[in-house]
Structure 1
Amino acid sequence: MPVTSWQSLHDGWFLTAVAGPEIPDPVAAARVPATVPGCVHTDLLAADLIPDPYLDDNELRLSWIGHTDWCYETTFGWAGDDGADRVELVCAGLDTVATITLNDVEIGRTANMHRGYRFDVRELLRVGDNVLRIRFDSAHRYAQEQRERLGDRPAAYSDPFNFIRKMACNFGWDWGPSLVTAGIWQEIGLRTWRTARLADVRPLVTVTGREGRVEVRVEVDRADGDSGAEPLTVRATVAGVAAEMVLPPGQRVAELTLAVADPDLWWPRGYGEQPRYPLDVTLHAGERELDRWQRRIGFRSVRLDTAPDEYGSAFTIVVNDLPIFARGVNWIPDDCFPHRVTRERYAQRLGQACEANVNFLRIWGGGRYESEDFYDLADELGLLVGQDFLFSCAAYPEEEPFLGEVRAEATEQVTRLASHPSLVLWFGNNENIWGWHDWGWQEQLAGRTWGAGYYFELLPGIVADVDPTRPYWPGSPWSGRHDVHPNESGYGSMHIWTVWNQLDYVHYRDYLPRFVAEFGYQGPAAYATIRRAISDERLVVDSPAMAHRQKAEGGGEKLARGLAAHLPAPRDFDDWHYLTQVNQARATSLGIEHMRSYRPICMGSVVWQLNDCWPVTSWAAVDGDGRRKPLWYALRRAYADRLLTVQPRDDGLALVAVNDGGDPWTGRVDVTRLTLTGEPRAKTSIELAVPPYSSMTWPLPADVGSSDEPRAELLLADPGDAGDRTFWFFAEDHELAYPPAGYDATVEPLPDGVRVRVTARTVLRDLVLAPDRLDPAAVVDEALVTLLPGESTTFTVRSAQRLDPAALTARPVLRCVNDMVPDTAAHR
C-alpha cells in the first residue's frame, strides 16, 4: 500500500461572525455548528438564524452576510506523524479571502475560490488537540478595495465581481440572486507522506489510425527538495500496456508513453459507445509504493474545424474524424451554494439533458470549473463539454495579484480535467471580447487592462503547454479574426440576444450562424416551484413577489411583448403562466429547428440554458426545483436524432428532414393542408432518403404551402412511423379562427400514478398537463401535444398521491391554447 495517508478534517467545526456593519444580534452572539464542505448561508440556515434565502424576498434581507468577516474553527486530534517526512494541510477549495492559522500560527492566505492550496504543517502539529481557524474576510470589501486600487472596469452589474477570483454569479445575475458566500466549500484534510508524492498527473490521449496513445506527464514532490538523493520510479498501465521511468536524484518530472493497439473508441452519445479504460500511475522508491493515482480515460480524437468557406469560416467540433452537430444547452451552477449539488443531483440533471436529446453542454464562465462528479458523469453518458475559463460580462484587470492567480488557477484546472474524454473545448471567456467591441468599454477603460492578455496570450499558452490535445477558442462569441466583428454570424461562435431583448422570436430566422453558443427565451418556473417559493395567498403576475422572481432588465415587458405577437391575452395568472411557458417553448424550438435545418453550414445550437440555481423566471428548461418546464419537452423533440420541420425559404415553404443518426432515414412523408376542423384541402407526398449526419430540403408545391384562408388552415407533415410529425400554422394563435376546445378525457389508475387519455373533438393546440398543481412531486411524460379532431393522446402521470380525476382533466391542470376561446369551459 502507498505510504501516504489522509485525515479528513470535516468534523467539529463552528462558525462565528467576526466583524460587519449589520450583523443581527442573535448571529453576533452565536457559535454556530458548521458543516464542511459548506458555507456561511447554509450553516446559518441550518441553525435557524436566517430565513431560506430562496423564498419570498428573503434574499434582500441577507446582503449583510457578504459584507461580514467570518471565522471557522475546529479542534482535531493528532496522533503523530509516525516518521513521515511531510504533513500537509490540503484545502481543495476556500471561498474566498482566507487567512489560515494552526495553533495560533498563521500558515497562509488565499484569495481564489477556483484553485486549491496546500501548506506544510508538520512542525506546527502537536500530539493531542490542535486548533485550526480559517478567517474569511468579506469578499465584497476585498473586491471593492482592489477596484479602488487598480481603477474601475466596466461590467454588466454594479458589484465588483470582476475584482475577485470567485464565482461571479454569487454577486447576482439576470437569473440569479445576490448571495455572496464564504466558507470551506470543498474537501479539507491532512495529507501525510514520506520520501515523495505524486503532485500532478496529466494524461494526454490521442488516436491516430488504429492506435491510441496516452502520454502521461507526472510531476513529483520530493520531501528533500529538488536535490533529493533517492531515485524514484514512475509506472503507468492502461489496457494491458505498461511503461515505467526512473527519476534520478534531483529530477521531478517523468513523461511516459503508452501505445494501445486498436482501442475501443469513446463516442459522443448517439454516435456510439463510451468505453473507458482504467489508467493507473504509481510512484515507487525501491520496492516501496509511495503514491498512487487512478482515473478512467477514453480514447478519442477531437479537433475544431474552422476552415474558411463560401459563408465565412466553419466552427465544427470533430470527434474521431466525424463532424458533430452540437445539440446543446448552457450550464450554470445548479445551486448558489455548490456544495449542496451532490453526485445524485448531477446525475438527475445530466440525465434530464440526455433525455432531452442533448449531446453538448457549455459550462458558462460566470460560475465554476465543474466537479469531478460532473465530468465523470459526462464521460459516462457521452455528453460533450465546452468549459469556459471563468471570466464573464466584464473587463478584468491583468495586474497582480490577478495575473498570478489566473495563471495558477488555469494551470491547475487544465491539468485536473485532462483525463476526461467529455471535455472537448476550452473557451477563454464569456462575452468579454464582444463587450470590448460593442458595449462602450474602450472609452471607459481609457487604456487600462481588460483581459485581452488572458484570452489571447496567457490562456492559449497554458492550454498549448499543459493539454495541446484539446482546442482553445479565445471567447464566446469570437469570430476567429481580429478584422471580423467578434459576433459576426458567418464566423466562429456567436450569441443571439437581439431576439429576446428587442425582436419577435421569428427573427431567429434572420441569422445563418456557424455555431450559436447562446440564445434563448424566458418562461416562468413550474407552478409548484413558484407556489413553494412565494407565500402570497394568491399568485399575481405583477405582484412584488413575482417581480422578485424576474431578474432580467425589462423581463416582464419582454414576456408581454412576446405574448402579444402570437397568443391571446391572458385573463389571469393561470393563463399567463401557461401561455408564457408555451411561448418560451415555441420561441426556442423555432430557433433550434432553423439552426438545424441549415446543417452543415450551422453545426451548433446551444440553448441558454438547461438549469436554474433557485426558483425564478428564466431561460431554463429545468427550473430551480428540478421540475421540467414545457421547454424541456420541446427540446426533446427539436433535438431528436430525426427532425422533420417546415421552414420558410425564399420561394415559399419547404420541408426539411435532419438526420443526426448513423443510419439513412427513408420513408414517406405526407404533407397536407387542412382546415382547423380537419378537412384536407391539398396534399403532396415526399419520399425521404436522408443520409446519416445530414439534412435535405424539399420545396412544397404552392397549393400545399400557401393558403387563401390563413386563419382557418394549417399544414401537417406526417412521416408515419418514421419520425415525429410536425405542424405549420399560417397565422398566429390570436388571429386563428379556433373553435372552442372540445375533448373527452378518461383517467385510468396505475400502480404508481394515472394514465390520462384525451380524445379531441376539435383541434387542440399545445396540450399540456400540469399535475404538479395537484401534487408537487408528480411528473408527466409528455407536453405540448397538438391534436386534430378525432385524434387521441395519452399522458402518463407518476404520483404517490391519489389525484382527483375531475381536477386532472380540466383547467388549469389540463390546458391548450384554444381553451382561451369563449365557452371552452363546456368542453365535456
Structure 2
Amino acid sequence: MHHDLATGWTVRLVTGEAPDDLASRLDAVPAEVPGVVHTDLLAAGLITDPFVDDAEASLRWIGESDWEYRTSFDWSDTGDTRVDLVAEGLDTVAHVELNGVTVARTVNQHRSYRLPVAELLRPGCNDIVITFRSPYAYAREQEDLLGKRPHSYENPFNAMRKAACNFGWDWGPDLASVGIWKPIGIHSWSGARIAAVRPLVDVIDGVPTVTVHVDVEWADTEPAAGAELAVEVAGQTALVALGPGQTSASTTIDAPGAALWWPRGYGEQTRHELDVRLLSETGDELSHWTRRIGFRSVEIDVAPDEQGSAFRIIVNGEDVYIRGANWIPDDVFFPRITRDTLQKSITDALESNMNMLRVWGGGIYESEDFYDLCDENGILVWQDFLLACAAYAEDDALWSEFEAEAVEAVTRLTAHPSLVVWNGGNENIWGYIDWNWRSQLGAMTWGEGYYIDLFPRIVRQLAPNTPYSEGSPFSFSRYVHPNDDAHGTMHIWDVWNRVDYTHYRDYRPRFVSEFGFQGPPAWSTLEYAVHDEPRDPFGPNMLVHQKADDGNGKLQRGLGEHLPQPDSYEDWHWTMQLNQARAVAYGIEHFRSLFPLNRGSIVWQLNDCWPVVSWAAVDSMRHRKPLWHALRRVYADRLLTIQPREGALVAVLHNDAAEALSTTVTLTRRSLLGEILAQERMPVEVDARSATVITVPASIASVADSSAEFAAVIADSGERAFWYFAEDPALLLQSDAVAASATEVPGGYAVRVEARSLVKDLTVLADKVDAGARAQDGLLTLLPGEVAEIRVQARPGLEPAAFTDPRVLRSANDLCDPRNA
C-alpha cells in the first residue's frame, strides 16, 4: 500500500541572510511537494518573479541558505512486514528525520531513496522533517575537500551531484534551489516485491526477442517460501520459479511476428505491454510491474574507413540519418515540468522534422513521461550521463554516488525503445585535451575513470544491447583528437565564438553532436522579462538575460557581411533572430550536402528554461523563433540545397524519405524583379535514403550583375533552393516588395502576401500583436508574383491589419533595402 506524502508541508528558513523585510515571514511558508523553495516563496508572494529584470541576483540568498521542510501525517498499522519511506528525489544535501530520528543523509539529486521506517512509525500523528543544506555552501566545501578542478562558470558544480545547470550556464540563470523535487511517500508491503525490471530487447535473425531481468526484494530476511514470476508480452508467457530469498531471475521470450518499433519516418512505433507479476506459492499476487516496450535492435558503426571513421546509428538494420537537437531541462525549476509541458516541447521537435533529442549531461535524467513521449512519437534519445564541461574527482565518496545514480538510471530506462545511445559526458574529454586542464590538475583525477571504466561497465552489465560512447565529442580512438571532424562525433563552436558561420564549410564532419548560433527570444518574451528604459540590447537588465560571455558582442560581430548592423532596438531583435536562423540553416545544409559521409547533426538547442537570449529554437514562453522555421525546412525529409564545389555550383538533393523520388528540376537565373535571364530543366532520380548531385550549368551560375540577380533550383515535387551572388546588404532588395492583407478566419487570422519582387525570409512576428499569437509559417522566400497565405493562431477580436504592420510583417528586405540606408 502506498501512502502519498504530498500535502501539509511547510518550509522555513533555518540559516541564511534573508532581506530584513522577509526574515520574520519565513517560519512556516506553505510548500508544494514535489517542489522547490523558490516556487514556494513565489507562490506565497514573498519574492518577485526570478525571471524578470535583475531579480536573479537579488534572490541569491535563497540558495545560500539552509531550509527545512516539515509535515505531519496520520498512520495506522497495516500489518505489513515492511514499511519504507520512499523519496524519489531530494534536491540535494538533505537530512531526513522521522519522529525525531535520523533516517538518511543524502547528497545526490539524481538518486531515489528507499528507507525502512517501520520501527519509527507510531499510531496516529507522525512528523517528518527534511533539512536541506545550501547547495552553494556544500559545493564550495566539497571543492575544498576534493581539490579544485577546472569547471565552467562561477560555481563548483562538479564537486557535488546536483544538476550542473542549476548553478547557472551560458543560457541559464544561477538559481540553485533546494526541495523535495519528486514524489515522496510511505510504502507498506509483505512477502516480496518487484524492485526493478530490465527488459533487454533485440531482433535476432528477424525474430523480436526480449530478455526480462527481474530484481526482487524480500520483506523477511529469511523467507520460508519461494515465489513465481509470470512474464507476459506479445501473446507469449513465461513462468520462472524463485527459491526463498532469491533476489533476481531472468527469462528470454521470443515473439515471432510481433511488430517492431521504428524511429519516426521508418515505420510504426508499435509497443507491446510487458506484464510482470510476482506470485506467492499459493498464487496470490505480491507485486506487479507493467510497461509498454518496443522490439528493436540498435548499433552504432564507428569502424575506420578511407575518410576517417564513421558514426552511423543503425536501428533494425536500417541506417538512420539523424536530424536532432540537444535538450536541456524544460524549466529552471524542475518540478514545474509536466507531461503536458513535455508534450508541447516534443511536438516542437516533431513538427520541425526532428528524429532525435540528446539529453545533455549538465541537466537531469528526465521523467518517465519524457521517454514515454519519445517512445510514442518515434523520437530517438541520446542520453548523456550527467557530467558536463568540467573535471570530476574520482574519490570513493563521489565515485560511489556516480555508480549508484548510473545503476538506477540505466535500470530505469532500459524499457524505453527510444533510448539508443548512452554517452559518458559532455565535452570533458575534449576539455582535458584542449582546455589547459592538465596543467591545472597535475596528478589529480579528472573523470576519465567514469568514461572508460565505470559507465561502460554498468551499460555492459545492465543494458548490453544499447551502444555506449565515452563522450561527446569523441573520435573512438585514444590516438585521435576527440574533436576531429573525420572521426566519430564533433562539436563546432569556433563558429559563434570566433569565426563567421561560413566557416561551417571548412569541416567535413562525420556527425555533429553540438553546434549552434544565438538569437533573442520572441518580442513578447523579452517584454515580459526585460524592462530597461529605453530598451537597449546592452541595457543592464537585458544583459542579465544574456549569459554568454560577450554574447551580444558576438551577435553583432556574427552579422559579418550577411546583414547590416541594426540602428534600432526593434531592428536589432529581428536582425539577430534572422541571422541565427540563417547561420544554423547554413551549417545543416552543408552537412546534409556531404551525405553519405555525414550521418547527421544535433543542433544546440531545442528549448529554453527561462526568458533569455540563447541558442534555442523555441523560447521559454513557447514561441517558435525564426530558427525553428529554418529547422523545419532544412530538417525536412527532402532537402534541396545549392553549394559551392571546386569553383562551381552544385545542387544537392538529399532524399531522406522511405520512397525514391522522380522529379524534374528547373534551374534559373533571374533578376530580383522576376525576369528569367537563363533557364534549364532536367529530370532527377534519387533513391530512398540517398542523395544526388546536380551540376549547375554555367549559364545559371555565371552572373552579370551580382546585386540584381540570383539563381534558383525548383523541383516539380516542391523542393526549392536559392543562391545569391552577393550578401543581402549588396542586393537591390526592395522593402516595399510585398502587398499584404489580413482577415479574421476560424481559429485566428489569414495573412495574404503577394511579392512584387524577390522577398527574402518573410516572417510574421505575431506575438507583437498579442503575446498568445503564433504564426504557423515563417522565413518564406517568395519569387516575384508569388502569393502565400500565412495562418496565425490567435484569439478573436484582434485588428487583422495589425498583422501586416511593418513592425510585425518583417523580411530581410526591410533591413537591407539600400533606399533605407
User: Equivalent residue for 1:597?
Assistant: 593
**Alignment map for 1:492-507 (pairs within 5 Å):** 492-507=488-503
CA-CA distance at 1:146 after TM superposition: 1.0
Letter aligned with residue 757 of structure 1: R
Distance 2:394 2:573 in 1: 45
User: Equivalent residue for 1:772?
Assistant: 767
* 1:652 paired to 2:645: no
Letter aligned with residue 749 of structure 2: V
User: Equivalent residue for 2:277?
Assistant: 282
CA-CA distance at 1:543 after TM superposition: 1.2
Distance 2:380 2:773 in 1: 31
Which residue of 37, 44, 62 maps to 2:34?
37
User: Equivalent residue for 1:170?
Assistant: 166
User: Equivalent residue for 2:301?
Assistant: 305
Whether the 8 Å contact between 2:231 and 2:277 is mirrored in structure 1 is yes
Question: SS at the partner of 1:403?
Answer: helix
User: Equivalent residue for 2:341?
Assistant: 345
CA-CA distance at 1:274 after TM superposition: 0.3
User: Equivalent residue for 1:180?
Assistant: 176
* 1:212 paired to 2:208: yes
Whether the 8 Å contact between 1:27 and 1:49 is mirrored in structure 2 is no
Cα distance change, pair 601–822 in 1 and its aligned pair in 2 (3 A): closer
Distance 1:562 1:707 in 2: 27
User: Equivalent residue for 1:735?
Assistant: 730
Whether the 8 Å contact between 1:16 and 1:28 is mirrored in structure 2 is no
CA-CA distance at 1:208 after TM superposition: 1.2
Distance 2:467 2:803 in 1: 51
Distance 2:565 2:164 in 1: 38
Query: 1:491-549: CA deviations, max 9, x gaps?
Result: 11110001111111011011011110000001000001111112345422221121111
CA-CA distance at 1:228 after TM superposition: 2.6
Which residue of 73, 78, 88 maps to 1:76?
73
Question: SS at the partner of 1:741?
Answer: coil
Between stretches 787-796 and 425-434, larger displacement belongs to 787-796
Cα distance change, pair 739–774 in 1 and its aligned pair in 2 (3 A): closer
User: Equivalent residue for 1:370?
Assistant: 366
Question: SS at the partner of 1:186?
Answer: coil
Whether the 8 Å contact between 2:85 and 2:114 is mirrored in structure 1 is yes
Query: 1:299-356: CA deviations, max 9, x gaps?
Result: 1110001111111110010000001011010000010111101101100100110000
CA-CA distance at 1:823 after TM superposition: 9.1
CA-CA distance at 1:71 after TM superposition: 0.4
Question: SS at the partner of 1:385?
Answer: strand
Question: SS at the partner of 2:255?
Answer: strand
Query: 1:752-792: CA deviations, max 9, x gaps?
Result: 21111011112211111111001100111111111122111
Letter aligned with residue 238 of structure 1: V
User: Equivalent residue for 1:710?
Assistant: 706
Distance 2:272 2:670 in 1: 55
Query: 1:171-230: CA deviations, max 9, x gaps?
Result: 1000000000100000100111001111111110111123111111111111122x4321
Distance 2:205 2:147 in 1: 53
User: Equivalent residue for 1:783?
Assistant: 778
Which residue of 442, 450, 461 maps to 1:465?
461
User: Equivalent residue for 1:665?
Assistant: 661
Distance 2:261 2:817 in 1: 56
Whether the 8 Å contact between 2:575 and 2:815 is mirrored in structure 1 is no
Question: SS at the partner of 1:582?
Answer: helix
User: Equivalent residue for 2:292?
Assistant: 296
**Alignment map for 1:148-547 (pairs within 5 Å):** 148-225=144-221, 227-286=222-281, 287-536=283-532, 538-547=534-543
Distance 2:640 2:467 in 1: 32
Distance 2:818 2:731 in 1: 16
Whether the 8 Å contact between 2:673 and 2:756 is mirrored in structure 1 is no
Query: 1:574-632: CA deviations, max 9, x gaps?
Result: 11111111110110001111111111111011100000000000000000111100000
Question: SS at the partner of 2:260?
Answer: coil
* 1:59 paired to 2:63: no
CA-CA distance at 1:676 after TM superposition: 1.1
CA-CA distance at 1:28 after TM superposition: 4.7
Between stretches 211-220 and 702-711, larger displacement belongs to 702-711
**Alignment gaps of 5+ in structure 2:** none
Question: SS at the partner of 1:789?
Answer: coil
* 1:756 paired to 2:768: no
CA-CA distance at 1:801 after TM superposition: 3.7
Question: SS at the partner of 2:343?
Answer: helix
Q: CA RMSD in A?
A: 1.3
Question: SS at the partner of 1:95?
Answer: coil
Whether the 8 Å contact between 1:301 and 1:320 is mirrored in structure 2 is yes
Distance 1:663 1:544 in 2: 53
CA-CA distance at 1:822 after TM superposition: 5.9
Distance 2:789 2:44 in 1: 46
Between stretches 390-399 and 804-813, larger displacement belongs to 804-813
Question: SS at the partner of 2:268?
Answer: coil
Question: SS at the partner of 2:643?
Answer: strand
Letter aligned with residue 454 of structure 1: Y
Letter aligned with residue 41 of structure 2: L
Distance 2:245 2:796 in 1: 68
User: Equivalent residue for 2:621?
Assistant: 625
Distance 1:667 1:365 in 2: 43
What number of residue pairs does the alignment pair up?
819
**Alignment gaps of 5+ in structure 1:** none
Letter aligned with residue 280 of structure 1: D
Whether the 8 Å contact between 2:729 and 2:817 is mirrored in structure 1 is no
Distance 1:384 1:779 in 2: 27
Question: SS at the partner of 1:212?
Answer: strand
Whether the 8 Å contact between 1:86 and 1:120 is mirrored in structure 2 is yes
CA-CA distance at 1:25 after TM superposition: 4.5
* 1:687 paired to 2:683: yes
Question: SS at the partner of 1:499?
Answer: helix
Between stretches 159-168 and 20-29, larger displacement belongs to 20-29
Question: SS at the partner of 1:376?
Answer: helix
The alignment's TM-score, normalised by the length of structure 2, stands at 0.98
Letter aligned with residue 572 of structure 1: S
Distance 1:114 1:610 in 2: 23
Question: SS at the partner of 2:791?
Answer: strand
CA-CA distance at 1:554 after TM superposition: 1.3
Distance 1:219 1:700 in 2: 62
Query: 1:335-381: CA deviations, max 9, x gaps?
Result: 01111011011001001100000001001000001110000000000
